[in-house]
Chain A
Amino acid sequence: MATPDVALGPTSASLPGAGAADVSKQRIFVASQWQLMWWRFRKHKVAVASALVVIGFYLVVVGADFLAYADPNASEAQRSLMPPQRVHLFDGWRFGPYVYAVKGARDLQSFKRVYRTDPSEKIPVRFFGKGFEYRFLGLIPTTRHLIGVDGGRDAAKTIFLLGTDVQGRDLWSRLMYGTRISLTIGLVGVTMSLVLGVVLGGLSGFYGGIADTLIQRIIEILRSIPTIPLWMGLAAALPRDWSILQVYFAITIIISLLAWTELARVVRGRFLSLREEDFVVSARLVGCSQMRTIFVHMVPSFMSHIIAATTLALPAMIVSETALSFLGLGLRPPAMSWGVLLQQAQNVQTVAISPWLMLPAVPVIVVVMAFNFLGDGLRDAADPYGR
Chain B
Amino acid sequence: MAAEVRPTLLSVRDLKTYFMQDEGTVKAVDGVSFDLYPGATLGIVGESGCGKSVTARSILGIVDRPGRIVDGEIRFRRQAATDAVDGGPVVDLAKLPPNGPEIRAIRGAEIALIFQEPMSSFSPVHTVGSQIVEAIMLHQQVDRRQARVRTIEMLRRVGVSSPDQRVDQLSNQLSGGLRQRAMIAMALSCHPTLLIADEPTTALDVTTQTQILELMRQLQREDGMAIMLITHDLGVVAEMATDVAVMYLGRVVEQAPVDEIFHAPRHPYTQALLRSIPRMRSRSRERLNPIAGAVPHPYDRPSGCPFHPRCPQFMAGRCDAEEPTLRSVGDKHTVSCFLYP
Contacts and interface: CB of A to CB of B under 8 A. Distances in A.
Q: A contacts B directly in the complex (CB < 8 Å)? A: yes
A20 interface: yes
B293 A18 contact: yes
A15 B292 contact: yes
Given A1-B283, A16-B314, A21 B275 contact: no
A45 to B, nearest CB: 15
A15 B281 contact: no
A5 B310 CA distance: 21
B294 A16 contact: no
26 contacts: A1-B281, A1-B282, A2-B281, A4-B275, A5-B263, A6-B271, A6-B275, A9-B271, A9-B272, A9-B289, A10-B312, A11-B292, A12-B292, A15-B292, A15-B293, A15-B312, A15-B314, A16-B314, A17-B308, A17-B311, A17-B314, A17-B320, A18-B292, A18-B293, A19-B309, A21-B294
Contacts of B310: 15, 18
Contacts of A12: 292-293
Interface in A85-104: none
A11 B275 CA distance: 12
Nearest to A20: B309
Contact of A4 (B265, B272, B279, B292): B279
A355 B55 CA distance: 64
Contacts, number: 49
A40 B296 CA distance: 25
B54 to A, nearest CB: 20
B309 A21 contact: yes
Contacts of A10: 312
A8 B276 CA distance: 10
Interface string A1-43: 1101110111110011111110000000000000000000000
Nearest to A17: B314
Nearest to A13: B292
B103 to A, nearest CB: 29
A17 B316 contact: yes
B308 A8 contact: no
A15 B309 CA distance: 9
B317 to A, nearest CB: 11
Interface in B287-304: 289, 292-294, 296
A4 B281 CA distance: 10
A2 B283 CA distance: 11
B137 interface: no
A11 B274 CA distance: 15
Contacts of A9: 271-272, 275, 289, 312
A98 to B, nearest CB: 51
Interface bin, chain B: 20 to 34
B89 to A, nearest CB: 42
Contacts of B282: 1
A8 B271 CA distance: 10
B289 A8 contact: yes
Please report whether the interface of chain B is mostly helix, strand, loop or mixed according to DSSP. Answer: loop
B154 to A, nearest CB: 38
Given A15-B293, A21-B293, A6 B283 contact: no
A21 B296 CA distance: 10
Interface of B: 263, 265, 271-272, 274-275, 279, 281-283, 289, 292-294, 296, 308-312, 314, 316, 319-320
A19 B296 CA distance: 12
Contacts of B308: 17
B123 to A, nearest CB: 23
A16 B316 contact: yes
A20 B293 contact: yes
A16 B311 CA distance: 8
A21 B274 contact: no
A311 B257 CA distance: 63
Lowest 10 A-B CB distances belong to which pairs?
A12-B292, A17-B314, A21-B293, A9-B312, A15-B292, A10-B312, A16-B314, A6-B271, A17-B309, A18-B293
B274 A5 contact: yes
A384 to B, nearest CB: 18
Contacts of B294: 21
Contacts of B293: 12, 15, 18, 20-21
Contacts of A5: 263, 274
Nearest to B287: A11
Contacts of B296: 20
A18 B265 CA distance: 23
B262 to A, nearest CB: 8
Contacts of A1: 281-283
Contacts of B272: 9
A26 B260 CA distance: 40
A103 to B, nearest CB: 61
B219 to A, nearest CB: 33
Contacts of A21: 292-294, 309
B309 A8 contact: no
Contacts of B274: 5-6
Given A5-B274, A6-B271, A20-B296, 20 more contacts: A8-B275, A9-B271, A9-B275, A9-B312, A11-B292, A12-B292, A12-B293, A15-B293, A15-B314, A16-B314, A16-B316, A17-B308, A17-B314, A17-B316, A18-B293, A18-B309, A20-B293, A20-B309, A21-B293, A21-B309
A21 B283 CA distance: 29
Contacts of B279: 4
A18 B319 CA distance: 13
Nearest to B283: A1
| Residue picked from B263, B294, B309, B319, most chain A C-beta under 10 Å | B309
